[in-house]
Amino acid sequence: MGFFDSAQDVFDKGVSAAKGVVSGVAIEQQAFMKGFVRLCADGWSQGWHERNGGNLTYRMTEAEVADCRAFFYENPSEWIPLGVHADNLRGAFFAVTGAGSYMRNVPLDTARNVGIVEISATGDACRVVWGLKDGGRPTSEFPSHFMIHSVRANATSGASRILYHAHPVNVVALTSVMPLDARTFTRALWKIMTECIIAFPKGVGVVPWMVPGGAEIAMATAELMKTYDAVIWAQHGLFCSGADFDSAFGLMHTIEKAADIYVKARLLNEGGDFANTISDDGLRAIARDLRLNINVSFLD
Ligand code: 13P
Ligand code: ZN
């Protein structure tokens, strides 16, 4: 057998071996994973993800799970207890960033920095079925993501699929100088930039400083997410939910931009009261004309 014959033979064997392993569109090429990776890259370019800061989870559809199954590990990881429990997520699958993963590395090596996890039939544990190569674990904030997914799925009749956690500078800065309540933060942001009441008509929730990564902060955040699409963690960051990657990223972007304008206006004004903001009647008029179902308890 000549060189080209044997090379062809090796090639053919390689192709048939590959065909024997999997067929279909690779997980990195699936539309949901492209959206996932793009959000991570966009968040990094905004400066919201120092080191391993921030995390992202996506609740997959049944069709997406079916399209990905051929690529799942023959031997998934052991079950990882979550420390929390949700009946409505039993058997669900999530795409998740890894604990300690840097958002800036997600586009470079998705299968190492991102994984797919399956939730147990008891709704209180998960196992890695794809990605998170070499023993990676889901984000340390997965208990919070998991509990919030549970309440957001209920609150939106299943429409909400994405939870995005980031460390945006201006939102975090404001938690050092403003009272830590939803009304104060919501009014500050609604009144400084017109689009805010449109982007988050229910307002933003605020969780006081807590130890990250555990069941306590998960339960506190999930409780607020029954009402709000976004919740601030004092001295830490922001959680945003959405039905798709654009709306989750857009909500994060809007809240951080409004906080940036608020901080700049405060600095320009040397901390004094503002000469001009949107009045409560102005906010009512936006809600009336755009038919928004706003949280009226936040208006005077
Ligand atoms: P992870 O690396 O575990 O996702 O943690 C980052 C973070 O932002 C913790 O709140
Ligand atoms: Zn964080």
pLDDT tens-digit profile, the chain (300 residues)? 444 444 444 444 444 344 445 678 899 999 999 999 999 999 999 999 999 999 999 999 999 999 999 999 999 999 999 999 999 999 999 999 999 999 999 999 999 999 999 999 999 999 999 999 999 999 999 999 999 999 999 999 999 999 999 999 999 999 999 999 999 999 999 999 999 999 999 999 999 999 999 999 999 999 999 999 999 999 999 999 999 999 999 999 999 999 999 999 999 998 888 999 999 999 999 999 999 999 999 999
Q: Is 3 part of any domain?
A: no
Contacts of 263 (CB under 8 A, 6+ apart): 170, 173, 174
SS3 content of the chain, % helix, strand, coil (to 5): 45, 15, 40
Q: How far is CA 237 from CA 25, 64, 297, in A?
A: 35, 30, 25
Contacts of 283 (CB under 8 A, 6+ apart): 190, 191, 197, 294, 299
* DSSP-assigned beta bridge partners for residue 80: 126
Residues spanned by the domain of 77: 10-140
Q: What is the crossing angle of helices 245-268 and 182-192, to 10°?
A: 80
Locus of tokens 């044997």:
6
Q: Is 160 part of any domain?
A: no
Same domain, 126 and 187: no
Among residues 140, 174, 200, which one ends one of the domains?
Answer: 140
d(CA 55, ligand 1 centre) in Å: 6
Same domain, 286 and 247: yes
Residue 186 near ligand 1, beta carbon < 6 Å: no
Residue 214 near ligand 1, beta carbon < 6 Å: no
Burial level of 46, CB count in 10 A (0-12/13-18/19+)?
middle
Is residue 102 within 8 Å of 49, Cβ to Cβ? yes
Q: Are strands 230-233 and 204-207 parallel, antiparallel or unpaired?
A: parallel
Same domain, 169 and 284: yes
Alpha helices in the chain (DSSP H): 3-21, 31-46, 62-68, 110-113, 142-155, 169-174, 182-192, 196-199, 215-225, 245-268, 280-289
Residue 52 near ligand 1, beta carbon < 6 Å: yes
d(CA 117, ligand 2 centre) in Å: 20
What is the C-alpha separation between 109 and 113, in angstroms, rounded? Answer: 6
User: Which ligand places an atom closest to the C-alpha of 103?
Assistant: 1
Same domain, 70 and 182: no
Which pLDDT value is given to residue 272? 86
The separation between CA 262 and the C-alpha centre of its own chain, rounded to angstroms, equals 24
Q: Is 288 part of any domain?
A: yes
User: Which ligand places an atom closest to the C-alpha of 57?
Assistant: 1
Residue 100 near ligand 1, beta carbon < 6 Å: yes
Residue 141 near ligand 1, beta carbon < 6 Å: yes
The SS3 assignment for 43 reads: helix
**For ligand 1, atom 4: residue with the closest CA:** 139
Residue 241 near ligand 1, beta carbon < 6 Å: no
Contacts of 124 (CB under 8 A, 6+ apart): 81, 82, 83, 84, 85, 86
* DSSP-assigned beta bridge partners for residue 250: none
CATH code at 286? Answer: 3.40.225.10
Q: Which amino acid is at 53?
A: G
Q: Is 219 part of any domain?
A: yes
Q: Is 94 part of any domain?
A: yes
Q: How far is CA 101 from CA 36, 104, 106, in A?
A: 14, 9, 8
Same domain, 170 and 108: no
d(CA 96, ligand 1 centre) in Å: 11
Among residues 82, 107, 140, which one ends one of the domains?
Answer: 140
What is the C-alpha separation between 237 and 265, in angstroms, rounded? Answer: 21
For residue 52, give the ligand 1 atom closest to its CA: 2
141 is annotated as an active-site residue: yes
Residue 105 near ligand 1, beta carbon < 6 Å: no
The structural domain count of the chain equals 2
Q: Write down the catalytic residue from 28, 141, 223, 270.
A: 141
Among residues 81, 107, 140, which one ends one of the domains?
Answer: 140
Q: Is 299 part of any domain?
A: yes
d(CA 138, ligand 1 centre) in Å: 10
For residue 212, give the ligand 1 atom closest to its CA: 10
Q: Is 213 part of any domain?
A: yes
Same domain, 257 and 296: yes
The SS3 assignment for 149 reads: helix
Same domain, 169 and 300: yes
**For ligand 1, atom 2: residue with the closest CA:** 100
What is the C-alpha separation between 143 and 219, in angstroms, rounded? Answer: 9
Same domain, 133 and 234: no
Same domain, 128 and 58: yes
Which pLDDT value is given to residue 23? 75
Q: Is 147 part of any domain?
A: no
Same domain, 45 and 131: yes
d(CA 100, ligand 1 centre) in Å: 6
User: Which ligand places an atom closest to the C-alpha of 138?
Assistant: 1
